[in-house]
Amino acid sequence: MSNEMSPIDKAKFVAAKQATEYVTSGMKVGLGTGSTAAWLVQCLGEMVREEGLRIKGVPTSTRTAKLAREVGIEVITLDEAKWLDLTIDGTDEYDANLQLIKGGGGAHLQEKVVATASDRMIVIADASKKVETLGAFPLPVEVIPFGMQTTKALIEETLAGMDVLGQEVTQRQAGDDPFVTDEGNFILDLHLKRIGAPQTLSLALNQIPGVVENGLFLDICDTVIVGHGDGRVTVRDLSDDGGAEIHFNVLDDTNIFADLND
């Protein structure tokens, strides 16, 4: 990675940096998975080491847990935490009502469990994640390995009666092998193009035997923090009809987290 921040890296960084303003000592914080969430973990780790921030982090994947420990954040399980003050995570898509599609990194099951066990969920993203209607990003559905082809056929049958534009279902791969989640399950990606009734679709998918959880995060997110390549940050909160715009100054000649990979 270049020593100079790319616009997309800068957008992710300023969104993550703004999100740290919601974190105070003593909190139990859900830590998301993905490239944008990794910037957050790095920022929080810096605050732990240099400012004495005291938090307990509940990671949503083994990858996030490893990074959190490396930067000095105390890691606990959700069972140990019982309930969280806040979860901060990235997203693959969000709409004007702060409904989300997540799971591009294959961790949406743990992410949804952690987010719903929190007083508040904040999403950090770059501007490209905003959509008019959910569905451009393939919707991940975690399924158990047993009878996976049967589950896939049932999903395809269900999609035929849904308000969607596409109905293609593919199994996610990791190279030549099936992608396997932290729970040992597979992921089916639903290429729907547009989801007209997310609530109806989510309920229908989760009623199919073999389905563990889908990547629709509905009525879970409270705030979206959007970073821009020029260093601007836009904060959109469900309690604020207008949204607030905050500016950060980010050094152009230094990538302070140059070891992070997308």
Do 169 and 87 lie in one domain? The reply is no
Q: So what's the pLDDT on residue 239?
A: 79
Task: Quote the longest CA-to-CA distance of the chain.
Answer: 55
Question: Is residue 226 one of the residues assigned to a domain?
Answer: yes
Residue by residue, DSSP assigns 191-229 as E-S-BS-HHHHHHHHHTSTTEEEESEE-S---EEEEE-T
Tally of domains within the chain: 2
> Is 92 annotated to bind ligand?
yes
Question: Is residue 206 one of the residues assigned to a domain?
Answer: yes
| Structural domain for 191, as ranges | 139-215
40 within 8 A of 32, measured Cβ to Cβ: yes
> Is 112 annotated to bind ligand?
no
Question: Is residue 169 one of the residues assigned to a domain?
Answer: yes
> Is 129 annotated to bind ligand?
yes
Do 166 and 224 lie in one domain? The reply is no
4-60 pLDDT, tens digit each: 778 899 999 999 999 999 999 999 999 999 999 999 999 999 999 999 999 999 999
Question: Is residue 256 one of the residues assigned to a domain?
Answer: no
Average predicted confidence (pLDDT) for the chain? 92
Residues noted as catalytic? 111
Residue 227 has pLDDT above 60, yes or no: yes
> Is 227 annotated to bind ligand?
no
Q: So what's the pLDDT on residue 75?
A: 98
197-217 pLDDT, tens digit each: 999 999 999 999 999 999 999
Do 29 and 107 lie in one domain? The reply is yes
Query: Bridge-partner residues for 6, per DSSP?
Result: none
Q: So what's the pLDDT on residue 5?
A: 79
List Cα–Cα distances, 176 to 32, 128, 171, 258, 262, in angstroms: 27, 30, 12, 30, 21
